Amino acid sequence: DSGVTQTPKHLITATGQRVTLRCSPRSGDLSVYWYQQSLDQGLQFLIQYYNGEERAKGNILERFSAQQFPDLHSELNLSSLELGDSALYFCASSVGGVGGEQFFGPGTRLTVL
Partner 1 sequence: AQTVTQSQPEMSVQEAETVTLSCTYDTSESDYYLFWYKQPPSRQMILVIRQEAYKQQNATENRFSVNFQKAAKSFSLKISDSQLGDAAMYFCAYRSEQGAQKLVFGQGTRLTINP
| Site residues for partner 1 per CB under 8 A | 2, 31, 33, 35, 42-45, 48, 55-56, 58, 88, 90, 92, 94, 96, 98-104, 106-107, 109
Minimum distance from residue 87 beta carbon to partner 1 (Å): 11
Q: Are 33 and 14 in contact (CB under 8 A)?
A: no
Nearest distance from C-beta of residue 16 to partner 1, angstroms: 27
The Cα–Cα gap between 5 and 106 comes to 7
Q: Are 14 and 84 in contact (CB under 8 A)?
A: no
Rounded distance between C-alpha atoms, residue 81 and residue 20, angstroms: 11
Q: Which is nearer to partner 1, 4 or 78 (CB)?
A: 4
Do the Cβ atoms of 54 and 47 come closer than 8 Å?
A: yes
- Find the shortest distance in angstroms from Cβ 19 to partner 1: 19
The nearer residue to partner 1, 18 or 57, going by C-beta atoms, is: 57
Question: Nearer Cβ to partner 1, position 79 or 103?
Answer: 103
Q: What is the DSSP letter of 61?
A: -
- Shortest spacing between CB 9 and partner 1, in angstroms: 10
Q: Which is nearer to partner 1, 7 or 15 (CB)?
A: 7
